[in-house]
Amino acid sequence: MPQIRFDDQVAVVTGAGGGLGRQHALLLASCGALVVVNDLGGTLDGAGRSDHPASIVAMEIADAGGIAVADTNDIATPDGGEAVIAAALDAFGRIDVLVNNAGILRDRTFAKMELDLWQAVIAVHLTGAVHVTLPAWRQMRQQAYGRIVNTSSASGLFGNFGQANYAAAKMGLVGLTNVLAHERATYNIKVNAIAPVAATRMTEKLFPDFAEHIDPALVSPAVAYLASRECAVTAETWSVIAGRVARVFVGVTPGYFDRGLTPEGIAANVEQIRSEIGYAVPSSVLDEIRTLMSQVRRHDGP
């Protein structure tokens, strides 16, 4: 199979000063991409800022023979998001790939969750992704080409204790991914998400016995594929961990159908409602409604 390359393409990676983002940036650059390394340089909870993380990764890329610019704009603000894409356009004249990776953690159980903790996490993960994606989206539509890879999480997909704010943001990114994929129309823009698990400063306390198996470098190949011209999918979320890549999807069971539905009827048919036998994976809201309408017609007759 021909090597996947990004020659003459421009990639923006947010949160690229370390961990997963750094690996994404390094791999894309090694495959020929011109990379904007965005990182505010703050602490794990988003406090402070530093030019060093983004600059160091940009220098790593340059030392390896690639081309990169460092960017330290704060994507949690609309102006910051615009500035990240402006940096790409100023330096390289276009943007072909956007990897929304930046994030912070402010974990609390929900009973102890304060609104500032909630809002700070949403502002970076979800709203921050929007701040960067909006200007990138406009440019990609104008170019009639683009690839966007959003970073979700198993915490959002499946739940995790003490991460209500983080999980809500990460599941929000799945919804954003799906809608943008539908709105891409004829612009040759593909939008997908990954749900990675890797040994980074965010997870170092969670997987101490498994860290050697979850090298961040094992996630980046999936990002590179989804960001490439060769990518054949859109509106999908892939779990990427320890060298395994798997699709995660929302399915709908055949369920229990009764045009005279009652609470008692539901209570008597919970197992049928929950049975996963014969599930479907709708591609859109309309797709699910079409499936439902076929059930209605079968029930009501001609």
Q: Which residues are catalytic?
A: 166
Structure token pair of residue 60? 């790593």
Helices 52-63, 19-30: axis angle to 10 degrees equals 30
Cβ–Cβ < 8 Å for 151, 196: yes
Nearest to 146 by CA among 135, 161, 130: 135
Distance in angstroms (rounded) separating the CA atoms of residues 285 and 296: 17
Distance in angstroms (rounded) separating the CA atoms of residues 219 and 238: 10
Alpha helices in the chain (DSSP H): 19-30, 52-63, 78-92, 115-125, 127-143, 154-158, 164-183, 220-226, 263-268, 270-274, 285-300
